Amino acid sequence: MELSSPTPEQVFLEALRQHRAELRESIGALEQALAAPAPSRLDAWTERVHVALVELSADFREHIDITEGPEGLYGGLLTTAPRLSNAVARLTREHAQIRELVEDLLACASEPEAIDVDRVRDLGTALLGRLVRHRQHGSDLVYEAYAVDIGGET
């Protein structure tokens, strides 16, 4: 029995699945950094949050490139399944909103001498919630288009 080569669609979906897992790891790192004790170790806490945010920011930029880029998911979906254009538009809007939240949080967490831990945690929690919902919406979109569960927890 001869094994067939994966189709370009299968290769792309596997890459998307791997990226989802990386993004989930970045989300988890930020969640852990925000939950760590802050008052007695403020400099270390601030540094940990900042590092997690920088990593998350890079992974989210890559996510936008993978989905909105010239060879990205959304372009292909709109060509093969134009009925999904509203969902694609919503996800694109969410990208802008999440990117703004990341930038606000980076700015807030980049001033160690004047850091407001509660504000950073509030902004971080809001960001985490938006990211989780965005991932759910993205998973729904891929399932609607390809009847494939891309998961992202591997």
Our count of domains for the chain comes to 1
Is the pLDDT reported for residue 151 higher than 70? no
Angle between helices 8-35 and 117-146 (to 10 degrees): 160
CATH number at residue 27: 1.20.120
Q: What is the pLDDT confidence band of residue 154, given thresholds at 50, 70 and 90?
A: very low
User: CA Rg, the chain, in Å?
Assistant: 18
Is 3 inside any structural domain?
no
The model's pTM is 0.87
What is the C-alpha separation between 57 and 103, in angstroms, rounded?
8
Does residue 3 surpass a pLDDT of 50? yes
Q: Give the pLDDT mean for 19-31.
A: 95
Can you give the residue range of the structural domain that contains 120? 8-146
The pLDDT tens digits of the residues spanning 46-55 come to 999 999 999 9
The tens digit of pLDDT for each residue in 90-123 reads: 999 999 999 999 999 999 988 767 788 999 999 9
Q: Does any domain span residue 50?
A: yes
The answer to the question of residue 60 being in a domain is yes
Q: For residue 1, is it within any domain? A: no
